Amino acid sequence: MSKFIVFKSLDDMPDIAVSKARMDWNKTGSWRSSTPRREDKTPPCNFNCPAGEDIRGYLDLLKHGKIKEAFELILQTNPMPLVCGRVCYHPCQSQCNRENFDAAIDIRLMEKFMGEWGLEDYTPPGLPSPGSKKAAVIGAGPSGLSAAYYLRREGVNVTLFDENEHPGGILYYGIPSYRLPNDLLKPELDRILQGIAFRSRKRFGRDFGIGELEKYDAVFLGTGAHKSKVMRINGEDLPGVKSGLDFLKKVNSGEKVFLDGKDVIVIGGGNTACDVARTAYRLGGNVSMMYRRTVAEMPAFAEEIEQLKSEPIKLEFLVAPSRIEKTGDGKLKNLYIRMKLGEPDESGRSRPVPVPGSEFEVMADIVFTAIGEDPDLSFFDSAGKSSGDFDFASVDKRLRDKLFVGGDILPNPRTVPHAVGSGRLAAEKILAFFDGEKIEQPKSIAVVAGPDDINLRYFVKVNLDKRRKNLYGGDGVIGEAQAIEEANRCFSCGVCYSCNNCYNFCPDMAVIKSSNGYQINLDYCKGCGICANECPCGSLRMDEAG
Amino acid sequence: MIEEKGIFSGGEFCGHASCPGCGEKIILRHILDVLGRKTIIVCPAGCAAVTDGIFPHSISPVPFMHTPFDAVASCAAGVRAGLEMSGRSEVTVMVWAGDGATFDIGMGALSAIAERNENILYICYDNEAYMNTGIQRSSATPFGSWTTTTPRGRLKSEPKKDINFILASHKIPYIATASPAFIDDLREKVNKAKEITGLRFLHVLSPCPPGWKSDPKDSITLARLAVECNVFPLFEIENGERIRLSYRSQSLPVTEYLDMQGRFRYLSEEETETIQSRTDEYYKTLNSLHESEQPLRMTMRKE
Ligand SMILES: Cc1cc2nc3c(=O)[nH]c(=O)nc-3n(C[C@H](O)[C@H](O)[C@H](O)COP(=O)(O)OP(=O)(O)OC[C@H]3O[C@@H](n4cnc5c(N)ncnc54)[C@H](O)[C@@H]3O)c2cc1C
Ligand code: SF4
Ligand code: SF4
Ligand code: SF4
């Protein structure tokens, strides 16, 4: 640092005018009337990911060709990118800030690419040897797998119980193979299960009980929602009337089911109903789907509905079953009544009300019901509530204090990423519990970066046709080069991506690159505002208060 | 993670007296970063001469010689000759002059060193008027601009002097235009010029918030729009013959650039249209020179 030089006499002065020192004694920061502040915001993709993935973060690594690092960043919050790349409904992507500029980043495809890369090219680092703490995880669906995985990574001794032969829960037994083939699922599950003791065909409440859980320091319960809701109509116990979910489980277990030329009715409008209808069609059935509201109220994912519509499945809206009868020739006579939409119910959707005198008849060989599933908590004597928040008070004292729950048991939206996220959160709670702490669910105070935070001058629109060919030309299978190209389109909404603009454009050298990223040297910053204005992603902001 | 590199470290460039958002200082720091320590700056009267420091202080990390307004080119030639005499030809002599010294007052001496092809890197930071003396028009001030000497009602009616083609007719080895918004391009051109022997001329647009009556935060945006609207196209001329566009602009309407600056506030619609059509024409000419790949030949009078 130079000091201000004052010549005391003529002798002090040099013979010619020559500088003796620098100017850094001149703290030009005093000129400032507004101040640049670093204010990283939450990218909307990250904000909307139920599993809590740092999407922007892994795209940034992918941009720079750091695929392994990108994959490991995903694994920090989601152990199953391949599964999610295939079946997650991607709320991240529908909120992508790039959507209105040219096209959203195809995050789903990126995730699928990463998942596939992980199967082929990734060797997980060795696990810590299991410590003294023991945890039991009941249910090997996505929530249980996620809880088990994050506990095992931290050195907890984990035993995972499931009543089925294969792990995966709905992933294995529910979601049909044309959406998620089990031979792709298996290797991803194998990676997750490393170091975890998996006990198959062990049903809690039948093969073991609360007594057996005493030797565990914590228990995670992720048994999902498998009890099909009843319709409460006459004839629903007839032999030809079956649970849609059980049908899917049968097909996915490899049992041969023949529906050739059979008339099949599927009742419901959710994901299960869609999968049942599409599976029945693939097995040769003439399928009709009956839903009591309209397509706009269908709880199934939009994508799923699109696919459904593209298949020769007959869709009947605004109809509700009122009775099923067996006819002499072994067929099922179904009585329906037409509905119209009334006032909204507690879910916010319009309540269907019957139209008097509109009954009609449809004949079928088989009827699949898929009007929703409830958690089956009959293993607790006091039979916990089947809807609403999990009722810890109803659980046996011996278990209550060390019990954690996740997945479809909770009143969350029932999706794979929600299950994964709740499983990981439960693992974090369990680890804190082992340390004698308690994690409260953090209140969301995120400032989400919107489209206005992006300086679009720094981004070039892509040629959409070229992109389409490049990304989707090979049936949705992409290579490294294409993945990197797509990742390169990411705006990095609200988070500094070291573009250097603030550093390059500051007239006063007041932006310093340090190991903590880009920092403002307020001794010299004159507050011109260039840095914040030229930050492409809205990570800097001018604070007018100075 | 990120490393501080180049010749500036520890606040070496900090504390100068340029206005907030000054383009000149953004440009200078990158030029010096590319040229390195073996450089002597020769600088005439102008913003750069009064803002680098208060005697006996200077932000310059290399020798910085102040010269009279009209004599910068001659002084630089003298410095060059002195270096050659003492066997230090590896040192770059760099002129750092504003548009006043370049386009107007020092034009004669500049033409002289160009004609002699002196081994000098002459860089003009063009803020398009005499700014530090109070915004008087220069021959670099664009058509239709307000200055204190071309006030409202008497806006500048002459077009900006086309300095690059004047110098091209001297057949010097390298001429380039640059903008601080395109920092990689700017740095590349400085680097290229550094390696060439003879007179090299770089013409860099330098946004000036007080003179342009623009928001300091917009200096880089304006430097970018000047290029994207073709008001200040980026190109190179080699040996006074071969012209290459260095960047394909988006050819945005000039109003995007003009509307952000108070100095263009008094333009009539007609004048704006004149600017648009002249801009289009100039860019078209540059483009055809770029594409034809033919050398630019002056029509010589037959003896
Ligand atoms: C047909 C269908 C399609 C779906 N499609 C999608 C989709 O495309 N995308 C999406 O995001 N979501 C989809 N979902 C929702 C998603 O599958 C669930 O939200 C998710 O699987 C819930 O995970 P979970 O771990 O809570 O439970 P589950 O996946 O249901 O796993 C629970 C596990 O616990 C076991 N279990 C149950 N009771 C016991 C017991 N007493 N003892 C031992 N083990 C027990 C079960 O066998 C099962 O393996 C679909 C659901 C269904 C039914
Ligand atoms: S542009 Fe990138 S950071 Fe922004 S929402 Fe889309 S994927 Fe996320
Ligand atoms: S560009 Fe530099 S001087 Fe201007 S506000 Fe940012 S840090 Fe301050
Ligand atoms: S301008 Fe670039 S380097 Fe600076 S904060 Fe913004 S993203 Fe980071």
Token readout for B16 is 């100068």
CA distance B255 to B250: 14
Q: Which ligand 2 atom minimizes the distance to the CA of A454? A: 4
B301: confidence class by pLDDT, cuts 50, 70, 90? very low
| Nearest CB partner across the interface for B219, out of A24, A524, A530 | A530
CA distance A152 to A132: 12
Helix axes A55-63, A480-487, angle to 10 degrees: 120
Kindly state whether B1 is in contact with chain A, defined as any CB-CB distance less than 8 angstroms: yes
| Nearest CB partner across the interface for B2, out of A1, A18, A498 | A498
User: Is the model's pLDDT at B299 over the cut of 50?
Assistant: no
Residue in A271, A274, A279 to alter for ligand 1 test, most ligand atoms within 8 A of Cβ: A271
The amino acid at residue B79 is V
Q: Which ligand 1 atom minimizes the distance to the CA of A409? A: 26
DSSP state of B103: I
Cβ distance B131 to B214 under 8 Å? no
* Residue A533, min C-alpha distance to chain B (Å): 6
Q: What is the pTM of this model?
A: 0.90
Look at residue A345 in the predicted model and tell me its pLDDT: 83
Using CA positions, which residue lies closest to atom 8 of ligand 2?
A45
Beta bridge partners of A208: A204
CA distances from A529 to A32, A448, A496, B114, B126 (A): 10, 22, 17, 39, 22
CA distances from A214 to A18, A195, A401 (A): 84, 22, 12
Kindly state whether B248 is in contact with chain A, defined as any CB-CB distance less than 8 angstroms: no
Same CATH topology for A134-225+375-434 and A230-373?
A: yes
Tens of pLDDT, residue by residue over A88-112, are 999 999 999 999 999 999 999 999 9
Domain assignment present for B246 = yes
> Across A153-261, where does the E strand assignment appear?
157-161, 197-199, 218-221, 227-228, 241-243
Mean pLDDT of A409-429: 95
Burial class (CB in 10 A: 0-12, 13-18, 19+), B256: middle
Cβ distance A385 to A376 under 8 Å? no
Look at residue B9 in the predicted model and tell me its pLDDT: 64
As for how many domains chain B has, the answer is: 1
By mean pLDDT, which of A286-290, A382-386, A462-466, B58-62 is the weakest? A382-386
Look at residue B212 in the predicted model and tell me its pLDDT: 98
Dihedral Cα B65, B69, B70, B74, nearest 10 deg: 0
Q: Which ligand is nearest to the CA of A106?
A: 2
Question: Average pLDDT, whole number, for chain A?
Answer: 93
Mean pLDDT of A395-411: 93
Count CB-CB contacts under 10 A for residue A97.
25
- Residue B195: which domain range? 23-289
**CATH fourth-level superfamily of A230-373:** FAD/NAD(P)-binding domain (3.50.50.60)
CA distances from B172 to A540, B43, B111 (A): 44, 21, 10
- Find, in chain B, the residue whose alpha carbon is nearest to that of A536: B221
Domain assignment present for B13 = no
For chain A, percent of residues with pLDDT exceeding 70: 98
Mean pLDDT of A152-165: 97
Domain assignment present for B3 = no
Helices (H), A17-130: 44-48, 55-63, 67-75, 81-87, 91-94, 107-121
Mean pLDDT of B122-132: 97
User: Is the model's pLDDT at A382 over the cut of 80?
Assistant: no
Give the CATH number for residue B191: 3.40.50.970
User: Is the model's pLDDT at A440 over the cut of 90?
Assistant: no
* Residue B178, min C-alpha distance to chain A (Å): 15
Helices (H), chain B: 23-35, 47-51, 72-85, 99, 107-115, 163-168, 183-195, 209-212, 219-228, 255-258, 269-292
Beta bridge partners of B217: none
* Residue B39, min C-alpha distance to chain A (Å): 16
- For residues B279-291, one letter each, b for 16 or more C-beta atoms within 10 angstroms of the residue's C-beta and e for the rest, the string is beeebeebbebbe
| Nearest CB partner across the interface for A528, out of B60, B180, B216 | B216
A502 CA to centre of ligand 4 in angstroms = 5
User: Is the model's pLDDT at B38 over the cut of 80?
Assistant: yes
A439: confidence class by pLDDT, cuts 50, 70, 90? confident
Domain assignment present for B115 = yes
Kindly state whether B21 is in contact with chain A, defined as any CB-CB distance less than 8 angstroms: yes
Look at residue B58 in the predicted model and tell me its pLDDT: 93
Residue in A38, A454, A495, A496 to alter for ligand 4 test, most ligand atoms within 8 A of Cβ: A496
The amino acid at residue A320 is A
Fold classified for A134-225+375-434: FAD/NAD(P)-binding domain (3.50.50)
Residue in A83, A108, A112, A170 to alter for ligand 1 test, most ligand atoms within 8 A of Cβ: A170
Strands A319-326 and A332-344, bridge-based pairing: antiparallel
CA atoms within 13 A on the CB side of A158: 30
More confident residue, A101 or B1: A101
Which ipTM value was assigned to this complex? Answer: 0.94
- Find, in chain A, the residue whose alpha carbon is nearest to that of B60: A22
Mean pLDDT of A351-379: 93
A180 CA to centre of ligand 2 in angstroms = 26
Residue from B180, B178, B183, B204 nearest B126 by CA: B204
Mean pLDDT of A61-88: 97
Tens of pLDDT, residue by residue over A303-330, are 999 999 999 999 999 999 999 999 988 8
Residues 76-135 of B with CB under 8 A from A: none
User: Is the model's pLDDT at B302 over the cut of 50?
Assistant: no
